[in-house]
Amino acid sequence: MSVLTRLSGIIYAEILSLLRNRTQAFIFLAMPFVIFLFLAGIYHEPVINHIPTVILDLDHSQKSREIINAYAANPVLEIKGLVSNRNDMESLLKAEDARVGIIIPENFESAMTRGEAVGIMTVIDGSNMVFTNTSGSAVAEVASRLAAELKVNLISSKGLLTEKAERIIRAVQFTVSSRYNPTYNYAFFLLFGLGINILQQTCLLGISTSLSGEKSQNTWWHYGFNNCSGVLILPGKLLPYLLIALLQFALLMLLGSQWLGLPFRGSLLLLFLSTIIFLVAVTSFGLMVSALTSPVNSIRYTMVMAMPSFVFSGYTWPAEAMNPLAKAIGQCLPLTWYLKSFQAISMKGAGWEIVWPYLACLTVMAAVFLAIALYLVNKLNRSVYDGG
């Protein structure tokens, strides 16, 4: 038998083996295209428009209204309304109800007319670099257009000399301030998020064979021998992975904040509370999958869920720019809500009043996964006992 014949036989046998396992065949042959189509839905909008923007108008003049209209005319910025003070603006930025804030100071029009230095400040949420870059470009475009229009109006309608017009134009300054990431550092925005995503994947990888492995090895009988119910088995399975993952998270935070200098501004207690709820949700999901499938398939299913979840979470590409289906998928993932709370606490110093909706969603997910996992463990217990 020639080498080519033997090689053809091995290839043929391997193809049959691949196709015989339906789960493996689907993941290998179809999943790349399925995930690609979902990713196409995530990047549904090639550019980000309608970035929520609020304006603090302390001047209330004709000129300030013209400036507000100029910002409203830009398709990238969506004016959500006016605020009455800086604290309200900061609260909206912290809660991500606004991503951009524009401040028009008192006596703006009169100071500009006299040629005195006066500035319009733009405050941008720097916790997401996509918003930062896009809104920064939009604000610069508006500022350029306003300066050109002001020059034309001063020279043509008021008949001012060019020198005086130039002096007035130079007096108007457009400044941009980035909240939570003043140096526009990508590491501040990205590193912790990637680390948490890797932590989720390793946690799922570890727990995904916890129950399926015992089923395949026929070692479940010892729970019945020791009179262990599902109420005891479930926490016994969860706690080791939960504690290890929590320790890994603590080391991740220590490494990031102390060695890499990544920012942390919030409450450690609130952060660890949200992390515990997130890890309970993740480990419960892993146990649920493990109880339903074989060891090999449980790893496959959990990894298929975990790998694209970081993209669906809206952490890098905003959920506002996704199509409705991709956005809905992201909202069903624990990582989405945890990263929202993590970023709000660590970068913005947000408290309970900001993050409680995120933690409520995580708690509901954790409770649902726990309940399903408990049901499956009890069902597995009964089937083993009946079989015995």
Residue 26 lies in a domain: no
148 and 222 both lie in a single domain: no
Pick from 115, 148, 179: which residue ends a domain? 179
297 and 371 both lie in a single domain: yes
Residue tagged 């130079």 (tokens): 170
Residue 34 lies in a domain: no
CA 166 to chain centre: 45
Would the pLDDT of 313 be above 70?
A: yes
Pick from 131, 158, 179: which residue ends a domain? 179
Q: Which of 61-65, 109-113, 170-174, 280-284 has the weakest average pLDDT?
A: 170-174
324 and 221 both lie in a single domain: yes
Residue 42 lies in a domain: no
pLDDT band at 49 (very low <50, low <70, confident <90, very high): confident
Segment 159-167 long-range contacts (CB within 8 Å, at least 24 positions apart): 164/115, 167/115
98 and 143 both lie in a single domain: yes
The dihedrals phi and psi of 77, each to the nearest 5 degrees, come to -100, 135
Residue 4 lies in a domain: no
Beta strands in the chain (DSSP E): 51-57, 77-82, 100-104, 118-125, 172-179
The dihedrals phi and psi of 265, each to the nearest 5 degrees, come to -120, -5
239 and 167 both lie in a single domain: no
162 and 301 both lie in a single domain: no
Q: How many domains are there within the chain?
A: 2
pLDDT of residue 337: 94
Instruction: Report the range out of 24-28, 165-169, 195-199, 231-235 with the highest average pLDDT.
Output: 195-199
The mean per-residue pLDDT over the stretch 51-79 comes to 89
Residue 303 lies in a domain: yes
279 and 297 both lie in a single domain: yes
254 and 383 both lie in a single domain: yes
Which domain covers residue 129, as residue numbers?
A: 51-179
pLDDT of residue 121: 87
168 and 258 both lie in a single domain: no
Pick from 128, 158, 179: which residue ends a domain? 179
**Kind and range of the H or E element at 352?**
helix 352-387
217-239 pLDDT, tens per residue? 666 656 665 666 767 777 888 88
Alpha-carbon distances, residue 138 vs 62, 98, 144, 314 (angstroms): 23, 15, 10, 21
pLDDT band at 297 (very low <50, low <70, confident <90, very high): confident
Would the pLDDT of 59 be above 80?
A: yes
| Edge-to-edge strands, sheet with 118-125 | 77-82, 51-57, 100-104, 118-125, 172-179
pLDDT of residue 143: 79
212 and 331 both lie in a single domain: yes
164 and 294 both lie in a single domain: no
Q: Is the pTM of this model over 0.85?
A: no
Residue 314 lies in a domain: yes
365-378 pLDDT, tens per residue? 999 999 998 888 88
Residue 2 lies in a domain: no
Residue 11 lies in a domain: no
